[in-house]
Amino acid sequence: MSRAARLLDLLQLLRRHRRPLTGAAIAAELGISLRTLYRDIATLQAQGAAIDGAPGLGYQLRDGFLLPPLMFGADELDALVLGCRWVADRADPALAAAARDALAKISAVLPPERRTAVEHSGLLVGPATPAEQDPEALATLRRAIRAEHRLRIGYRDVHGETSQRVVWPLALGFFDRVQVLVAWCELRGALRHFRTDRLSSVDDLAGRYPRRRATLLAEWRAEQGITADGI
């Protein structure tokens, strides 16, 4: 878990309780040490979080506290709403549910007028007919990309020919109808693209591939003439 995610989990935990929580109880629920907890609380307090308490006394988040980074501007909220709605409409069920949950979490901590703007946003996503795909396979692809794991895939090309490949997954490109996996193919010894609706099987080989994903992705961007801000 990243430190940013851990700090957010700490805030969410404090929000759920109206009474002070001991450091030991918080640390146990988050699965961290007391030393890490005290450091995280000090970091949040330094950033303006209204956390009352001290070691041995317990901690409590004052009512009404909002993290400054969640005070989005109108254009930022429009971008978040449109992006989440697009994912909810176009992605596989797990990612679609995550998009809806993320938007609900953001909306829950916004000031009332901003929350109303999100709930009644006029930015809509038009209908589409995505290609039929295996939701579990797509979830496996995303996990493997994050973990930098090698995959064994069964793939059917445009001519209907099938093959077994071992690939190093780098990224997923999302289009209106299909998703495209960008990966290093061990069979070809080069970067290749695979339409996810043509995957007949996806198996995580559990081991990390030998090169860093960021390095390979930079090489792919260079091949495609895409700047770092373009994906």
Render pLDDT for 126-139 as a digit per residue (tens, 0 to 9): 887 878 888 999 99
Fill in the amino acid letter for 28.
A
Two tokens, residue 113: 């007028």
Q: In this predicted structure, what is the pLDDT of residue 100? A: 93
CATH code of the domain occupying 135-230: 2.30.30.520
Residue 66's pLDDT is 54
Closest CA to 176 of 142, 138, 130, 125: 130
What pLDDT does 180 receive?
Answer: 95
What single-letter DSSP state applies at residue 209? P
Separation CA 150–CA 38 (nearest Å): 38
Cβ count near 191 (within 10 Å) = 18
Task: Give pLDDT < 70 ranges for the chain.
Answer: 1, 64-71, 227-231
> pTM of the full predicted structure?
0.66
Task: Output the pLDDT for position 64.
Answer: 62
Rounded distance, CA 26 to CA 38, Å? 10
**Domain boundaries defined on the chain:** 3-65, 69-119, 135-230
Which residue intervals of 69-185 are DSSP H helices? 74-90, 93-108, 112-119, 135-147
Answer yes or no: are the C-beta atoms of 91 and 125 closer than 8 Å. Answer: no
The pLDDT of residue 57 is 82
Helix (H/G/I), strand (E/B), else coil: 18? coil
Let me know: does 51 contact 37? Beta carbons within 8 Å. no
Q: pLDDT for 158-203, tens place per residue?
A: 899 999 999 999 999 998 888 999 999 999 999 999 999 999 999 9
CA dihedral 196, 201, 206, 212 (to 10 degrees): -30
| Cα 145 off chain centre by | 11
Give the helix/strand (H/E) hosting 200. strand 199-208
- One of 1.10.1060.10, 3.20.20.60, 3.40.50.12280, 1.10.10.10 is the CATH number of 3-65, namely 1.10.10.10
Q: Rounded distance, CA 75 to CA 78, Å?
A: 5
